[in-house]
Amino acid sequence: MTEANQAFSEALVKSLVGERGHLPIARALSDLDEALVGKEIEGVPYTIYQLVWHMNYWQTFLLQYLEGKQPERPKSVTESWPEQKAPTSEEWQRTLAAFLNGLDQAISYAKSLPLDEGVNFFPTESNAGILRNIASHNTYHLGEIVLLRRLFGAWPPPGGGYPA
């Protein structure tokens, strides 16, 4: 890996994990239970559970490109949101684990893939572009999760609300 690619790889990993600009994603989610993630606020169109489910949906979708697969595009963006507002405890743990496992996979790809290489089945994109998209999408929705947690009085998480 060239020095420039190594530097960009490290920047991508930091963006995926979360640092400096925001709390690490895993720390922002690890203390949540199904009651809090399913809690609603009038006028807000989604719950924390729905946000994490949506983040996992697109992260999984994009990771398939990096695995050399061609994921089936949803007929509508509404397919990337669950109808269910609140999960069972098991569903929340399953969704959170799938999301965090996918995040670990993205981090592994950021460290190992040739970042400037094109992506099969997505000719206008590179490996770096896919990973950057995952990082920015997750960061965007993490901000919404932090805001919801603040509105619920559930912020900061244990250990504080600032990057470590």
Count the Cβ atoms, other than its own, within 10 Å of residue 116: 13
> Which tens digit of pLDDT belongs to each residue from 15-40?
999 876 678 899 999 999 999 999 99
What is the 3-state secondary structure of 81-128? CCCCCCCCHHHHHHHHHHHHHHHHHHHHHHHHCCCCCEECCEEEEEHH
The pLDDT of residue 7 is: 87
Q: How confident is the model at residue 2 (pLDDT cuts 50, 70, 90)?
A: confident
Domains detected in the chain: 3-151 (1.20.120.450)
Q: pLDDT confidence of 8, banded at 50, 70, 90?
A: confident
Over residues 92-110, the pLDDT tens digits come to 999 999 999 999 999 999 9
The answer to whether the beta carbons of residues 100 and 32 sit under 8 Å apart is no
